[in-house]
A and B are shown apart, each in its own frame.
Chain A
Amino acid sequence: MTTEELKNINANKIVDARGTACPGPLLAAKKAIGDIESGEIMEILSADEGTKHDIPKWCEKMEHEFLGVVEEDSYSRIFLKKA
């Protein structure tokens, strides 16, 4: 997905993990994914540089579809679709 497409997505759930460092955002994502249905979209907000590299790996393991990252000034918005 392109950045423009990602910016227009309305996520079914937004997880704000900007107050935590590794492995906080990952644990927040894991916790929140239970709240949405298969095929729905989750957005993770993280100020931790590692998260945008970790979430794709996590998706690979958990078989979710990683959609991409939108960079903001001091944090990243990471999008994925639940398997």
Chain B
Amino acid sequence: MNEEIEKQIQELQKKVNKLEKGTKDQLSMVVFSGELDKILAAMIIATGATAMDMKVKLFFTFWATASLRAPEKNVSGKNFMSKMFGIMLPKGSKKLKLSKMNMAGMGTAMMKGIMKKNKVASLEEMFVLAGELGVEINICEMSMNLMGFKKEEMIDYPHMNICGVATFLNDASESKVQLFI
């Protein structure tokens, strides 16, 4: 009888440990979209979460990776396809467009003007702020390979890593909040 109870206690202990591990005060977010408005929303949520004392881990994948390119950096030794991708995709956050009402760039320019008037931080400022606040940015290695981006051409960000989907899944599985943007 005692053995039975002990066994049950052990099993419960295991479950409790698992639950505790599963509920870190942490936010995991997949940043997939490459448009100005969507990435800005992601960064506002990310920095806001740090104010709530949450640990924040962003997983940049597909179109979002282009937003992290540094406009002033150039790398050599790319093949033809990578060069083409490099030319066609926006080189950094300043080149991003709105997902709606871009109107050949007019809408985006107008939005930037309104943002300034309303004292909303630009995306460039948000990246700097996020870095200061300890927001982690993990970039999907496969996306980097597909688009031919190299780590050397990315912005200088204090907490940046190149990783795979398992890193995101591991982070997400122990986060209270998970988002996809």
Is A bound to B?
Answer: yes
Binding site for B on A (CB under 8 A): 19-24, 26-27, 29-30, 47, 58, 61-62
Which residue numbers of B lie inside 8 Å of A, CB to CB? 44, 47-48, 50-53, 118-121, 129, 133
**Chain A residues with Cβ under 8 A from B52's Cβ?**
58, 61-62
Residue from the list A20, A21, A29 in contact with B51, Cβ < 8 A: A29
Q: How far is the CA of A24 from the CA of B120 in the complex (A)?
A: 8
CB–CB B53/A61 < 8 A = yes
Task: Report whether A21 and B121 are in contact in the complex, using a CB–CB cutoff of 8 Å.
Answer: yes
- Shortest distance from the beta carbon of A70 to any chain B beta carbon, whole Å: 21
CA A23 to CA B50, docked complex, whole Å: 10
Q: Which residue of A lies closest to B133 (CB)?
A: A27
Q: Is A24 a contact partner of B53 (Cβ separation < 8 A)?
A: no
- In the complex, the answer to whether B133 meets A62 with C-beta atoms within 8 Å is no
What are 28 of the A-B contact pairs (CB < 8 Å)? A20-B119, A20-B121, A21-B118, A21-B119, A21-B120, A21-B121, A22-B44, A22-B48, A22-B120, A23-B44, A23-B47, A24-B119, A24-B121, A26-B51, A27-B47, A27-B48, A27-B50, A27-B129, A27-B133, A29-B51, A30-B50, A30-B51, A30-B53, A58-B51, A61-B52, A61-B53, A62-B52, A62-B53
Residue of B nearest to A27 (CB): B51
The CA of A61 and the CA of B47, in the complex, are separated in Å by: 16
CB of A26, distance to nearest CB on chain B (Å): 4
A26 to B129, CA, bound (A): 13
A49 to chain B, nearest CB (A): 11
Are A19 and B119 in contact, with the CB atoms below 8 A? yes
What are the residues of chain A within 8 A of B129 when measuring CB–CB?
27
A20–B51 Cα distance when bound, in Å, is 15
Contacts of B121 in A (CB 8 A): 20-21, 24
Taking CB as reference atom, which chain B residue is nearest A19? B119
B119 and chain A: residue at smallest CB distance: A21
What residue of chain A has the Cβ atom nearest to residue B126's Cβ? Answer: A23
Complexed CA–CA distance, A47 and B129 (Å)? 20
Please name all residues of chain A whose beta carbon is closer than 8 Å to the beta carbon of B44 when the two chains form the complex.
Answer: 22-23
What's the least CB distance linking B5 to chain A, in Å? 37
Chain B residues with CB under 8 A of A58: 51-52
Chain A CB count within 10 A is highest, among B48, B53, B120, B121, for B48
Task: Provide the residues of chain B in CB contact with A29, threshold 8 Å.
Answer: 51
